[in-house]
Structure formats: C-alpha cells, structure tokens
Amino acid sequence: MLAPYACDPARSRGRRHPEPAAPTRNDFQRDRDRVIHSTAFRRLVYKTQVFLNHEGDLFRTRLTHSLEVAQLGRSIARPLGLHEDLVEAIALAHDLGHTPFGHAGQDALNACLHEDTGPAALEPPGEDEPHGGFEHNLQSLRVVDALEERYPDFDGLNLCFETREGILKHCSRANAQWLEAREPGGVGARFLRGQSPSLEAQLANVADEIAYNAHDIDDGVRSGLLTLEQLEAVALFDHHRRAALADHPRLQGRRLLYETIRRMLSAQVYDVIDATRQALREADVRSLDDVRSRAPLLGFSPAMREASAVLKRFLLTHLYRHPQVLETTGRARRIVADLYQAYCADPSLLPTGARRAGLSLRRQVADYIAGMTDRFAIREHERLTGERLFT
Ligand code: MG
C-alpha cells in the first residue's frame, strides 16, 4: 500500500540514540505513541488555540486541534499511499512547543527575548541552546529532543529523523546552522540546502491549515464573534452553504453551519488528493529523494489555494483581529512579559526542575514559560505580581 515516494519505517534515517526495534510496532507508530504519552501532549488540553481555555468548554484547544489535524492527515495519507503513522505522529506533535495563550503568548515571549536589555541578555548562549528569539516550530523540536524527561538514557523522546523533520516546519537560518553544527546532515540541513521535507511532513502542514480554517469558523460562530451572514462573503463557505441548503432546504442554525463545514472539509481533502496526484505525475516523482529535491508537491489546486487564502484573510480581519480577541490577547501578552521579567530578575522563583545546566538563564525562563498552560500562567502571574488579569 505504501507508495515508492512515501517514508518507510524500514528505511528510516533512524534515531539519534539507536534503540532495538519493537516486536510489533513500526518506528513511526512508536513515535506517535511516545508523543501521546508525553507530558507536553497532555498540557495541550489547557492551551489556547484562539479562545482562551477558560472562555468556554466547547472551543478548540491545542489538543483537540492536534487531533483534528491528525484525522485530516490520515484521511489524505491513505489514498496517496503515504505513511499514516508518520503523518499522525507529526500532526500530534506539531504544536507541542506552543506557549500558553496561542500566538499572543508566542509573540510576547519572542519580544521578551529580543528586547531584553537586562543582565540576563548579556549572558552568552549555552552550547545546547538555540539562538535569537522564540520560534515555536523549533520549540516543538526542543520538546521532543531535549525537554521531555522520560527515559533513563537520554533527554527527549528520541524520535525518528522523519518525525523530527516534520515537526520542524520552519526554522531561521541561524538556528538551521546551529542544528547543522550539532547534527550534520540532520533536520537543519534542508533549510540550508533549499530542499523539501517528506510528503508526510508536507501533508501535516496542509492538514493543519485545513483544520484551523474550518474549526475557527465553528468556534467564531459559537462565540458570537462571527455570524453566518458575514460568512456569506467567503466564496468557499457560501458555495457549500448553498449546496447544503439545496439538498436540505429547511436546514438552519447550528446544523447548517456543521453541514457547510463538513462539505468544505471534504472538498479540500479531495482537492489535495487530486492536485497532489497530478503534481506527482507531472514531476515524475518515483522516490523519496525525488520528493526532497523538488519544490513542495503536496497541496491544494491553484483554485482551492486561492479560496483558502480568501477564507484565511476573512478570519484574520473578522476573528483574530476582533476587538474582543485583541483585548484578551493584550492581557495574555502582559502575563508572559511579566513572568519573563520576574524570573530573570530573581531566578530563585523558578522551580528546580526548570533549572538546566548548559542553558542561559533567559533560555531556561523561555522554556519554562513556553511549557505553561493558560491557567497555570494566569495563576503564576497572580502569585508573583498580586494582580489577577483573568477571573
Ligand atoms: Mg497547528
């Protein structure tokens, strides 16, 4: 069933610390299982996707988002002959490095590292730490490579090259060089050589986009910040809303929303499958090496890419930049910035488990804050500053 250009666990580039094969599971299955059992994975349940975790019980969290990405990834992987377990492992791990409070938290932490002019900023980076600010893809890799503490003989989860490659979706040049120096020809190399990752990695990326575009519509309407009427301006949504109404003329409200989203999801999944098959044929791709040497081949048709871009712009304007969302994220940024300052000013406030040899204080602080859940960050902020920014 596996296509000749798929990743094959039997031909994996292996783990950084060699381990004997498991008797019944392939190496990508094992990676997926390791991710599910990790501490960072459990924390995703209390981390924001768009809406803060405590704003409502039915909004997506990073955990349910990651499960939806895995589901969409599997649906597309099988008909393309790609390795489902690998796609699932990457999808479940792709957001492990996210800070509390979604993008607001990540931007705030990045700004703290860049704008810090205090004594912590003068300390040179340790050998084991990335450079510059905070990159969430690199942080996801740090979680599985270094920060999880579960095994007797190594730090991290010791995942296969192919899983780690998929997790590191983006990387700055400076950090790619830092990775390359530590692991020549490893996961940093493709950013320096201009190569593509595996199709499984490309798929996890596209499934991420399909997932959040769909569920942010759902959560946006549920929250009352978006209306069905507003969404009629989005061609992709409106096309499927009309089709749903043509088949079910009396459909309305929540069921109309769900039926529309379901049809949108299906259309995007089939579009990716068809467009990718065509791209693979036209590029005469026969092996994984062919995949790596060509520009990314897995994705939407040009028409669907444009339709998805319109939807994304709509969500940016009407949801992510909604005054009510911005007001919440403003407070979230303050929490992250205040925590960073407090720990850098007085490292004794950090728990002993967060102190790590070989890392500068600012990186230890960044790792600790990045690992927090929304509610832990809110409580810790209140404990350290006496201020309660969310009730
Ligand atoms: Mg994601």
> Cβ(160)–Cβ(25) under 8 Å?
no
Task: Give distance in angstroms: CA of 208 to centre of ligand 1.
Answer: 5
Q: Would you call 17 exposed, middle or buried from its count of C-beta atoms within 10 A (0-12, 13-18, 19+)?
A: exposed
53 secondary structure, DSSP code: G
Mean pLDDT of 135-164: 96
Taking the C-alpha atoms of residue 385 and residue 322, their distance in angstroms, rounded to an integer, is 28
Q: What percent of the chain has pLDDT over 70?
A: 99
Q: Answer whether residue 49 shows pLDDT above 90.
A: no
Mean pLDDT, residues 312-332 taken together:
93
Alpha helices by DSSP H, listed for 22-146, are: 27-36, 39-43, 62-80, 84-93, 102-115, 119-122, 136-142
Average of pLDDT values for 77-92?
Answer: 98
Q: How many other CB atoms are found less than 10 A from the CB of residue 391?
A: 5
Calpha distance 286→227 (Å, rounded): 46
SS3 at position 193? helix
For the segment 28-46, what is each residue's pLDDT rounded down to a tens digit? Answer: 999 999 999 999 999 999 9
**Of 1.10.3210.10, 2.70.98.90, 3.40.309.10, 3.80.30.20, which CATH number belongs to 9-195+324-385?**
1.10.3210.10
Q: Rounded to the nearest whole angstrom, what is the distance from the C-alpha of residue 99 to the centroid of ligand 1?
A: 12
Cα–Cα distance list, 270 to 50, 65, 71, 275 (Å): 27, 20, 14, 8
CA of 119 to the centre of ligand 1 (A): 34
Distance 122 CA to ligand 1 centre (A): 33
Ligand 1 center to residue 20 CA distance, Å? 32
Cβ-contact 303, 204 below 8 angstroms: no
Whole-number Å distance, alpha carbon 91 to ligand 1 midpoint, is 8
**Which of 224, 40, 289, 267 has the alpha carbon at shortest distance from 142?**
40
What distance in angstroms lies between residue 380's CA and the mean position of ligand 1's atoms? 26
Q: What is the mean pLDDT of the chain?
A: 95
- Whether the CB-CB separation of 136 and 143 falls below 8 Å is answered with no
pLDDT above 90: percentage of residues in the chain = 88
Residue ranges, comma separated, of all CATH 1.10.3210.10 domains in the chain are: 9-195+324-385
Q: How confident is the model at residue 52 (pLDDT cuts 50, 70, 90)?
A: confident
Residues in the chain: 391
Distance from Cα 133 to the centre of ligand 1, integer Å = 20
Q: List the end-to-end C-alpha distance of the chain, in Å, as a whole number.
A: 52
